[in-house]
């Protein structure tokens, strides 16, 4: 056995550097190539959260980061351990979430030799990270850690991967963190947009009569909500949000029209169609909100704030592009905007809100919309709207986006760009660990939940009081909806014929659970779950399979082709868009 020296190993230095970055939790699953790092954690104040699958670990770190704005950290082994993080890396990359993934690797002499559990981790993950490192010198560990955290959580946030060969983490490292100076030539972080673009934006706002503020995830990341609210009030302009922009501005605000886009509120989409100026604040003009690009607000002036210049000309070409962080840029714009008083544009938007409210049929069995609407009512009345809600992807996600009113920043966590099934539940674990005093609800579908439900073991072991709402319609609901509407109801690969009994499954982990079968059970069981504090609990809502999400804009169609309800005749199959 090698004698212990006073010089720390690379693994010990790594953990020391993570502590200096303020890391409190690491989501990890061990393996041979990462053993030196796991060994170093034994003497650390950092809490290791042992996950059951590496994908779940990345989603936990993602949820932790989204809920706090801090960097989430993942630790896995080489080969399949590392490749199992790819889905989580893609999810974080598409949604600009700061996580750092540490992967064990075979010894440096074995690189390229097809050693046991060797994978070209940096090569495989290159397209789905903001930056990546393969550490080849133990002395570089302190510098690389500092750079990784800086890159992950500055500018447009994103995931960073550090691949660590086992001989590097086992070798002695005498480099101090203080001596480790980041070396990032060319990495520039935009602050406030330049004065010229701000002046042009103010001029455009002075000339508009029907302005609309589009709030995206960048406003959430920047914490720009208060400034955006002041701007909307000064302009007397309505607000719409993207799926990931929910919560940046309190959705109870009278100027807020909810989410726009494919499954946005009808009144939000009506406002988009008829505005003469649309101001995107931290939104990347995703295809789910623009529909057919050449018919998206063709006559409206387009203003755009973004911290990433690559977003200015990806489909939508703004009339005024403001490169900068959303919060300071909006704050700099505010003094140049003139107050607008009584506004017929606002009255018109309010008339659409009354004419096209969100609604659902209360007859014919238990509806997912009813359950989610009731959960929202309970969150608002019992918690003052102060709850974190995570979702998976699919019909339940869109109903939650419609009916859950997000009151505060960083309390709505969902996978947007990647549309990752299996995200919602582990993301809730990360959020609950980060904010133990918050009530956290994971709204999941029966399909997506089964992709990461092994993390029930993690939630139970950590005794986390997460509330899990499983919307069980015994199908992959969103795909089934498209097959019904666009493929002559030729159902293929969507019916989940052998779902488990989710209540009994929860009981197997010693988790409290209830089933909702009838509408009159909804409020009582939600109240029971809200009062439950002894570890996780689960509600299985057995809902109608045939219900579809409306409003709906068919993929690739203009917003003007919005469907308010189920059409009476089959629809033309969308081409060239998913």
pLDDT of residue 1: 43
Tens place of pLDDT per residue across the chain (578 aa): 455 568 999 999 999 999 999 999 999 999 999 999 999 999 999 999 999 999 999 999 999 999 999 999 999 999 999 999 999 999 999 999 999 999 999 999 998 888 999 999 999 999 999 999 999 999 999 999 999 999 999 999 999 999 999 999 999 999 888 777 888 998 989 999 999 999 999 999 999 999 999 999 999 999 999 999 999 999 999 999 999 999 999 999 999 999 999 999 999 999 999 999 999 999 999 999 999 998 999 999 999 999 999 999 888 999 999 999 999 999 999 999 999 887 899 999 999 999 999 999 988 899 999 999 999 999 999 999 999 999 999 999 999 999 999 999 999 999 999 999 999 999 999 999 999 999 999 999 999 999 999 999 999 999 999 999 999 999 999 999 999 999 999 999 999 999 999 999 999 999 999 999 999 999 999 999 999 999 999 999 999 999 999 999 998 899 999 999 888 777 877 765 56
User: Among this protein's residues, is 117 annotated catalytic?
Assistant: yes
Q: What is the DSSP letter of 384?
A: T
Distance CA 414, CA 402 (A): 13
Query: Starting from the edge strand earliest in sequence, which strands make up the sheet with 47-50, in order?
Result: 47-50, 25-28, 72-76, 99-105, 160-165, 131-134
Q: What is the DSSP letter of 440?
A: E
Distance CA 136, CA 146 (A): 16
User: Among this protein's residues, is 166 annotated catalytic?
Assistant: yes
pLDDT of residue 118: 93
Residue from 19, 117, 139, 295 carrying the catalytic annotation: 117
Residue from 478, 530, 552, 562 carrying the catalytic annotation: 478
Residue from 47, 116, 207, 359 carrying the catalytic annotation: 116
Q: How do strand 412-413 and strand 512-516 relate by DSSP bridges?
A: unpaired
Preceding peptide of 551 cis, ω within 30°: yes
Distance CA 526, CA 215 (A): 31
- Please give the sequence-ordered ranges of beta strands (E in DSSP) within 484-536, or none if there are none: 512-516
pTM of the model: 0.96
Residue from 13, 70, 130, 166 carrying the catalytic annotation: 166
pLDDT of residue 5: 65
User: Among this protein's residues, is 54 annotated catalytic?
Assistant: yes
Residue from 54, 118, 311, 484 carrying the catalytic annotation: 54
CA-nearest of 280, 153, 263 to 219 is: 280
Contact (CB, 8 A) for 502 and 572? no
Structure tokens at 398: 């869109």
Q: What is the DSSP letter of 356?
A: S
- Please give the sequence-ordered ranges of beta strands (E in DSSP) within 152-255, or none if there are none: 160-165, 211-215, 239-241
Contact (CB, 8 A) for 105 and 136? no
State CA 574 to chain mean position distance.
27
Contact (CB, 8 A) for 102 and 162? yes
**Rounded to 5 degrees, what are φ and ψ at 488?**
55, 30
CB atoms within 10 A of CB 132: 21
Structure tokens at 565: 């309800």
CB atoms within 10 A of CB 558: 17
**What are the structural domains of the chain?**
10-170 (3.40.50.970), 195-355 (3.40.50.1220), 368-550 (3.40.50.970)
């Amino acid at each position: 056995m090698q004698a212990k020296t006073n010089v720390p190993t690379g693994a010990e230095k790594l953990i020391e550097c993570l502590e200096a970055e303020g890391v409190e939790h690491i989501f990890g699953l061990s393996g041979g190539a990462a053993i030196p790092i796991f060994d170093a954690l034994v003497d650390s104040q950092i809490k290791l959260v042992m996950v059951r699958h590496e994908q779940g670990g990345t989603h936990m770190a993602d949820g932790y980061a989204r809920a706090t704005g801090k960097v989430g950290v993942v630790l896995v082994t080489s080969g399949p351990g590392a490749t199992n993080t790819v889905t989580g890396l893609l999810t974080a990359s598409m949604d600009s979430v700061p996580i750092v993934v540490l992967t064990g690797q075979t010894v440096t002499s074995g690189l390229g030799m097809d050693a046991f559990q060797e994978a070209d981790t940096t090569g495989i993950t290159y397209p789905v990270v903001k930056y990546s490192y393969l550490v080849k010198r133990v002395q570089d560990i302190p510098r690389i850690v500092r750079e990784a955290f800086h890159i992950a959580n500055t500018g447009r946030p994103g995931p960073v991967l550090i691949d660590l060969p086992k001989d590097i983490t086992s070798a002695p490292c005498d480099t101090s963190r203080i001596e480790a100076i980041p070396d990032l030539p060319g990495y520039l972080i935009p602050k406030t947009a330049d004065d010229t673009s701000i002046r042009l934006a103010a001029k455009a706002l002075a000339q508009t009569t029907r302005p609309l503020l589009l709030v995206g995830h960048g406003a959430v990341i920047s914490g720009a909500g208060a400034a955006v609210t002041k701007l909307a009030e000064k302009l007397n302009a309505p607000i719409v949000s993207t799926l990931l922009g929910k919560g940046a501005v309190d959705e109870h605000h009278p100027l807020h029209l909810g989410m726009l886009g494919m499954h946005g509120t009808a009144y939000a989409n009506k406002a988009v169609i008829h505005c003469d100026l649309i101001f995107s604040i931290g939104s990347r003009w995703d295809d789910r909100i623009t529909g057919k690009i050449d018919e998206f607000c063709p006559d409206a002036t387009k203003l755009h704030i973004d911290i990433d210049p690559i977003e200015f000309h990806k489909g939508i070409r703004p009339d005024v592009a403001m490169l900068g962080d959303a919060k300071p840029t909006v704050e700099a714009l505010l003094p140049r905007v003139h107050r607008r008083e009584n506004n017929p544009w606002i009255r018109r938007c309010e008339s659409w809100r009354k004419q096209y409210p969100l609604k659902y049929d209360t007859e014919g069995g238990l509806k997912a919309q009813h359950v989610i609407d009731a959960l929202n009512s309970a969150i608002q009345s019992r918690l003052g709207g102060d709850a974190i809600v995570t979702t998976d992807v699919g019909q339940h996600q869109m109903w939650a986006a419609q009916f859950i009113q997000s009151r505060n920043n960083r309390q709505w966590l969902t996978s947007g760009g990647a549309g990752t099934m299996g995200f919602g539940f582990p993301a809730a674990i990360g959020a609950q660990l980060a904010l133990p005093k918050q009530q956290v609800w994971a709204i999941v579908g029966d399909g997506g939940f089964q992709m990461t439900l092994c993390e029930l073991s993690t939630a139970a072991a950590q005794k986390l009081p997460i509330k899990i709402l499983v919307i069980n319609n015994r199908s992959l609901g969103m795909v089934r909806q498209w097959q019904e509407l666009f493929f002559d109801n030729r159902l293929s690969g969507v019916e989940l014929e052998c779902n488990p009994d989710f209540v009994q499954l929860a009981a197997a982990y010693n988790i409290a659970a209830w089933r909702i079968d009838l509408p009159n059970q909804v409020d009582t069981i939600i109240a029971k779950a809200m009062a439950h504090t002894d570890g996780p609990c689960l509600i299985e809502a057995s809902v109608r399979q045939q219900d579809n999400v409306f409003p709906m804009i068919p993929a690739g169609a203009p917003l003007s082709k919005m469907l308010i309800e189920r059409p009476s005749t089959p629809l033309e199959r969308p081409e060239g868009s998913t």
